[in-house]
Structure 1
Amino acid sequence: MREMKTLDGVSREQFEREVLAGYEPVLMRGLVAHWPLVAQGRAGLEACLQYLSGFDQGLPVDALLAKPEPTRAFGYKPGLDGFNFLHDKRPYAALFEQLWRYSHFPDPPALAAQSALVSAALPGLELANPCPLLPPEVAPRLWVGNRATTPAHFDDSHNIACVVAGQRRFTLLPPQCAPLLYLGPPDHAPTPAPTSVVPDLHRADAERFPLVAQALEQALVAELAPGDAIYIPPLWFHQVEALAPHLNALMNYWWRPPAAPDRPDDLHLAAMRLAMLAFRHLPDGEREGWQALFAHYVFGARGPALAHIPEGQRHLFGELDAAADAAIRQDIAGRLKP
């Protein structure tokens, strides 16, 4: 495992110039230590839940409940024929009461209210606790629960995660580790994000998952206390362990820079799944040929590699306006019709 870059007192200018440009995770100690929510988180379970309840509008939020198994991971069943947790929607009042009751058990079930949009479920909380590195239009989400693990997965957005109560351990691995992480099918995962079938990388069965040890050699690991934040670049795998026994809470921010005026930037995972569908039946030699063409057309053809084409004649190689983008999307959608 490698040491993660750590910064103190990060300014917005430094974040944009240094952190975003580096395409590596960065631990930012004390970034949100001034938040009122962090003060309540440090005060303990009852103080934190009472503070959050003051913003509650009674909106049901996603909740996961799992048996208190050793890994306490929200993941696959052993045979991968389903998931090892119950999923429903409950108001925060019921979830907070359940967390309080579970705090009296020595080993309660794993409970988590995940990814609730703060402006809808707890309006005003985001205004009282603003992120100093992002504009206000980047909407935060809240994660609240007791001790549990989210297995290694990736998102296609930038992510700043701010710990506000308890303690969290992040294990981060570059996208190149994908072949080492025993990923499940992208269309059958515990969450919308493609996920490893290994419940906990640090406790992986070496006989079943021998490649995990190679992945961990490239891993970055950091433990965050209330007030600390971490930046996770798009596509970096991350396993997240909520370590405190009774209460862990986190606010995170996902965003993507706009691709172009009037153009949605939402094709990445869809394009990957379509490519899996399009090339799966081809023989190995032809698949390798397409891999080489993808390396050029999708990822390589830029800068000097396009010098032989006048800028005004580069078409899909060049800049597209909204009309051209829409026309290409329409053509692709038409080809997908049976």
Structure 2
Amino acid sequence: MAEADPDIAVQAAPIAEREIAGAGPLDEAVRGAREPFVVRGLVADWPLVRAGLNSADDARAYLLRKRRDVPFTVSLGESGAGGRLFYDDSMGMNFRSGRGRLDDIFSQMAVRENDPDCPAVYLASIDTRQFFDGLDEDHPIPLGDRDLLKSIWIGTRTRIAAHNDFPDNLACCAVGRRRFTLFPPEQFRNLYLGPVDNTPAGRAISMVDFHAPDFARFPRFREALQHAQITELEPGDALFIPSMWWHHVEGLAPFNVLMNYWWRDTPRWLGQPQDALNHAMLSIRDLPHEEKRIWRDLFDYYVFENDEAVTAHIPEKARSVLDRLTPQSASRIRNFILQQLGKG
């Protein structure tokens, strides 16, 4: 197993491992779980895992047999970046994106993959149902009847900066090896996050280079490392990443494939918290301090506390959106917000 950067490997605790077999135990293990865990060999019998254990060429051939004849979006990194897909010196991206046929993209990977200094070639978050035929059916995952968003990530050696996601996530290593370094949600202040509107892939990322942490520039990152957890996934292994946990992801082999499964245990008709945060930055953040204090109190009252004091004095049938949300009342809020935004 390859060594992680010494500063991180020494301080990071190993992610807990659990033995789980079958749909029932896995479904139960992730239900309400708020700590990450690894399941070794969970998907070891997948056809793609078996193909990849033979060779990278066999894995690529398997995926090509399943692909649909549609263009795929691919990111091409810079030479000398060590596979790191990040910002350039002007805070643009240090990679370019294009579209192409999967067989042509795989040909580029095959040529470059044995050169450790080659520019990264990376297909990120490709919807398995939209871009492949039969891939889902060949690779079942024992997560009960959840409404899963299924993606595949394919690339040469890559380094993806620490970021988080709102849904829960089960990440399954199919080909190659992946190193994950995780941090609890509350460590965001110590990860030195970049812009929220100029990001490599839609989520704010840590500005710290995990292979060469600049502690003079990012001193609180030492505190983050005290809470870090780390693991390396081999083909067939899976990692559960709870909602909002920060994760830094590295593809360690010349050719790597990850399949992941996102889900929410709350209904899809509820809003996205990130949208509320973005709107709060627009409407509240730059108000005078005293006005912000009032709005913080209102947010506590209506959103974070949301106890009987909010509704007990209102007739039950008149509580509308102050009551527990339904698809109908959520739709009323959404329509009202859209109307108000249209006036801006």
Q: Shared fold (TM-score greater than 0.5)?
A: yes
Q: Distance in 1 between matches of 2:140 and 2:134?
A: 10
Summarize deviations over 1:28-81 as a string: whole Å, max 9, x none.
11110111110111112111111111112232122111124354211112332x
State the match for 2:9 in structure 1: none
Matches within 5 A, 1:119-268: 119-135=129-145, 138-198=148-208, 200-244=209-253, 246-259=254-267, 264-268=269-273
Amino acid at match of 2:263: W
State the match for 2:83 in structure 1: 72
Q: Distance in 1 between matches of 2:322 and 2:303?
A: 9
Give, in angstroms, the shift of residue 3 of structure 1.
Answer: 3.4
What secondary structure, in the 3-state scheme, does the structure 1 residue paired with 2:52 have? helix
Amino acid at match of 1:252: N
Structure 1 residues 274 and 146: alpha-carbon distance in aligned structure 2, compared to 1, 3 A threshold: same
Q: Distance in 2 between matches of 1:136 and 1:183?
A: 31
Give, in angstroms, the shift of residue 89 of structure 1.
Answer: 1.5
Q: Distance in 1 between matches of 2:200 and 2:216?
A: 24
**Identical counterparts, % of pairs:** 34
State the match for 2:60 in structure 1: 49
Amino acid at match of 2:329: A
Give, in angstroms, the shift of residue 275 of structure 1.
Answer: 0.7
Residue range with higher mean Cα deviation, 217-226 or 125-134: 125-134
Q: Distance in 2 between matches of 1:296 and 1:221?
A: 38
Q: Provide the alpha-carbon RMSD of the alignment.
A: 2.2
What secondary structure, in the 3-state scheme, does the structure 2 residue paired with 1:33 have? coil
Q: Count how many residue pairs are aligned between Structure 1 and Structure 2.
A: 331
State the match for 2:299 in structure 1: 294
Q: Distance in 2 between matches of 1:209 and 1:75?
A: 17
Summarize deviations over 1:220-260 as a string: whole Å, max 9, x none.
1111000001111121111101111x10111111222352x
Kept in 1: contact 2:170–2:260 (CA 8 A): yes
Displacement over 6 Å in runs of 4+: 304-307
Give, in angstroms, the shift of residue 104 of structure 1.
Answer: 4.0
Q: Distance in 1 between matches of 2:17 and 2:309?
A: 37
What secondary structure, in the 3-state scheme, does the structure 2 residue paired with 1:67 have? coil
Amino acid at match of 2:215: A
Q: Distance in 1 between matches of 2:301 and 2:26?
A: 31
State the match for 1:99 in structure 2: 109
1:27 aligns with 2:38: yes
What secondary structure, in the 3-state scheme, does the structure 1 residue paired with 2:89 have? coil
1:321 aligns with 2:326: yes
For structure 1, the residue ranges without an aligned partner over 5 or more in a row are: none
Kept in 1: contact 2:311–2:319 (CA 8 A): no
Structure 1 residues 91 and 239: alpha-carbon distance in aligned structure 2, compared to 1, 3 A threshold: same
What secondary structure, in the 3-state scheme, does the structure 1 residue paired with 2:42 have? coil
Give, in angstroms, the shift of residue 325 of structure 1.
Answer: 2.1
Aligned partner (choices 261, 275, 281) of residue 270 of structure 1: 275
Give, in angstroms, the shift of residue 172 of structure 1.
Answer: 1.1
State the match for 1:281 in structure 2: 286
Structure 1 residues 316 and 197: alpha-carbon distance in aligned structure 2, compared to 1, 3 A threshold: same
TM-score, L = length of structure 2: 0.89
